[in-house]
Homo-oligomer: A and B are copies of this chain.
Amino acid sequence: MKHLLDDINKAFENKIRLGIMSALMVNEALDFNSLKELLGVTDGNLASHLKTLEKAAYIKVSKQFIGRKPNTKYSATTSGKRAFEKHIKALENFLKNNRA
């Protein structure tokens, strides 16, 4: 039996991860500080949730140098984008049913 909440993805349940993915759907790549500012979270908290999404292969990390300063950027992978869209649809369906 198919349940209403089946397509809600555990990887995106947490609101910080929801926010990270959302930001990376509309921005091709973002660095750590931009994400931090956007979401209003602490370094440790953000780092830990980025790691979770990276392990799930939903985001990828690229490191480069700007002059001598290291710059780390995060972007959504194709499978991450696909999974997030599915999750958003599941949330939308859930909300629709919830209002009915």
Contacts and interface: CB of A to CB of B under 8 A. Distances in A.
Interface of A: 1, 3-6, 8, 10, 13-16, 18-19, 22, 25, 38-40, 88, 91-92, 94-95, 97-98
A54 B91 CA distance: 24
Given A3-B39, A13-B14, A15-B5, A22 B91 contact: no
Nearest to A37: B1
Nearest to A16: B5
Contacts of A8: 15, 18
B95 A92 contact: yes
9 nearest A-B residue pairs (beta carbon): A8-B15, A3-B40, A5-B15, A13-B13, A5-B19, A22-B98, A13-B14, A92-B95, A13-B15
